[in-house]
Amino acid sequence: MKSLRLAALILGSIPASPLLADTADRENALKLPQTLITGNRQVQARSDSTSANSVFTREDIDRLQPTSLTDLLGRVPGVQVARSGGRGALPGIYIRGTKSAQSLVLVDGQRMANATSADSNLQYLNIDQIERVEVLRGSRSVVYGSDAIGGVIQIFTRRGAEQPPQLRLHSAMGSYGSSQNSVGISGGDAQTRFNLSGALENTAGIDRTTVSYPVDNDHDAYRNKSVSLNLSHHLSDRLEIGLSGVKSEGKTELDAMFGQKAYSDFDISSVGSFVDAQFSERWNSRLELGHSENRETTRDKLSPDLYSFNTYRDSLNWQNSLALDDQNSLMLGLDAYQDRVRSNTDFDKDSRWNRAVFIQHRFQGEGFSTELGLRHDKNQQFGSNNTWSASLTVPLNADNDVLMSYSEGFRAPTFNDLYYTGFGNPTLKPEHSKSYEFQWRSQLSDTSRLETSLYRTDIRDAIEYLKKGEQSFPHNIGAARITGLESALHQEWFGWQSSLGVAIIDPRDRDTGKTLSRRARRTLNLDLDRQFDRIGVGASWQAVSSSYNDEQNQQPLGGYALLGVRANWLASSEVRLDLKVDNLLDKTFTRALYSYEGDYYGYREERRSVQLAVTWTPRL
């Protein structure tokens, strides 16, 4: 409460003057490719953000035809996805060589990671219910706190537009007995916008493991039912309120787990509300309240045993953006959340809270721009933590900018790390990081843009599991250094739209000199598309170098290259047909290994697959 009073006094002392900044309305900005919200939790031009970033709009998603969100993320330079076998399988998301737990995942501003395992459950989000995806590469802990060491992924659910109600029906069928069906309605006017949609996804799946229990040699099915809602309303020109929610539930069958016929029932959900007020021409304030749940029960059809892990999170964020003058702006905020665990497995503690205050100053001049931020977190378990960041942007000319930045990050241990009875370590400290980055952004021509980053990230107090007898326990012993170069080239030529992403990283354990597990040193992604009036064609090529499955570098994973092609036909103003073929050359590849009877084997991934889809948007 004292922090709230202090913030109010600070805000009240700022005199009113010209308009805060010429930014697009947030709902409209979600449709635009050159805007960014995740960088500072407010609308800004992508070129103004100090974070290396990638954005996928709904138009991009429709053009690229990804089967899942993880398929889309694999196109981002510096992002690697290691899925453990087919659709619905748990993915590892590695941003700039950091592990999944070291990157923050948000859905409409709400944290989605499971508080026990730190899994984000991105594999359960339906791609047809997504309006936009923003990916920040590099630490953003000053703005978001824990977990944002490698970067931030934010998913925005479908939005309405200023138009009469529009019905949307989508149906897709493909290989491995797969189907994706969804229905939605959206619309709005100058004051109110809405979207409501539901989806059902099924697949007979593939046999995810090459070797396992004899009764496990079957296809592993996946079923997902989901619904999403988004509603916003302007009470006046200066006051807006809104509500959003997403829920996915279903079943995914597993191989090589604790049982011989294992499967998981999952239920994830998130709901958030906001009040956005323009108190004066200098002061904008936004208050967000949220609640998210991750519930998962793993069972074995041949055993009465089950493992249930349910986590619940309540959150609050209050952010204030202040225009001090034409060149100086200030962002002040309060951040708080509380996690709770309910499980049939005992935890020494089943709840904890985190509270934080943060401030960030930005100067924008003709010769250079700066950004300086500071954050203070207080956590019920590990105490206080301070992080800060600084950046300098220098425009070389009208078409070229260079950016130099330093940022700190941290990650709080999970409930499993700390409190799992018989396995946890309550004395664990948070992981800490320091990152240094140099960026060059160049508008090569009206239709060509190049963005390149050179960076280094040092991580200390890394949490690793050490074996003691037959069990493993977490300890703060590790240190890692990740150096990397990534480049993204976007170009339009002769009507063709191309996007090329290249990343080279050296992710090393500083204590052993070994390469960090499941991180390929080189990746390349290329997308090429063109629309010929009513017919569109496109292709994707992804190349990933070899890596290691383990920290000791004894289990190699081979590199691979995948080719995909796609086409669409606008049959009428209301009907669109899509056709795609993934892994056209029918390559066999694996992204992770598993242990069975003392040996290691690769998880299977889908080989050549075909999908045909139709989207109907009838006029009401």
Pairing status of strand 239-253 against strand 222-236:
antiparallel
Q: For residue 269, what are the β-bridge partners? A: 247, 293
Q: Give the model's pLDDT for residue 256.
A: 64
Distances (CA, A) of 531 to 432, 506, 536: 47, 38, 4
Q: How confident is the model at residue 10 (pLDDT cuts 50, 70, 90)?
A: very low
Question: Is the model's pLDDT at 614 over the cut of 80?
Answer: yes
With a pLDDT cut of 90, the percent of the chain lying above it is 76
Give the CATH architecture of domain 2-616.
Beta Barrel (2.40)
**Of residues 31, 314, 76, the one with CA closest to residue 188:** 31
Residue 3 has pLDDT above 50, yes or no: no
pLDDT band at 472 (very low <50, low <70, confident <90, very high): confident
pLDDT, tens digit (0-9, with 9 covering 90-100), for 258-287: 567 888 999 999 999 999 999 999 999 999
Cα–Cα dist 186/193, whole Å: 8
What is residue 215's predicted lDDT score, i.e. its pLDDT?
Answer: 75
Q: Which two tokens stand for residue 508?
A: 């090393």
pLDDT of residue 348: 87
The answer to whether residues 391 and 404 touch, using CB atoms and an 8 Å cutoff, is yes
The amino acid sitting at 188 is G
Contact 509, 516 (CB under 8 A): yes
pLDDT greater at residue 306 or residue 79:
79
Q: Which of 274-283, 435-444, 473-482 has the lowest mean pLDDT?
A: 473-482
* Distance separating alpha carbons of residues 41 and 51, to the nearest angstrom: 13
Average pLDDT rounded to a whole number, residues 340-364 = 94
The answer to whether 159 and 127 are in contact (CB under 8 A) is no
Query: In sequence order, which residues have a C-beta less than 8 Å from that of residue 389 and are 6 or more positions away?
Result: 139, 141, 142, 371, 372, 373, 405, 406, 407, 408
Does residue 11 surpass a pLDDT of 70? no
**Eight-state DSSP code of residue 60:** H
- pLDDT value at residue 230: 96
Residue 469's pLDDT is: 62
Residue type, 100: S
C-beta of residue 313 within 8 angstroms of C-beta of residue 338: yes
Is pLDDT above 80 for 320?
yes
Cα separation of 197 and 185, whole Å? 6
pLDDT at res. 4: 36
Strands 79-83 and 91-95: antiparallel
Tell me, rounded to whole angstroms, the distance of Cα 16 from its chain centroid: 37
Q: Give CA–CA dist 39/268, Å, rounded.
A: 25
Burial 450-477 (b: 16+ CB within 10 A, else e): bbbbebebebebbbeeeeeeeeebbbbe
pLDDT at 179 over 50: yes
Say which residue the tokens 């809405």 belong to.
Answer: 194
Average pLDDT on 200-209 reads 92
pLDDT for 353-409, tens place per residue? 999 999 999 999 999 999 999 999 999 988 899 999 999 999 999 999 999 999 999
∠ CA 385-387-388, nearest 5°, is 160
Residue 123: its pLDDT value, please? 92
The token pair at 288 is 């967000």
Mean of pLDDT values over 487-491: 96
Find the mean pLDDT for residues 2-27: 43
Task: Please check the confidence at residue 1 and state whether its pLDDT lies above 50.
Answer: no
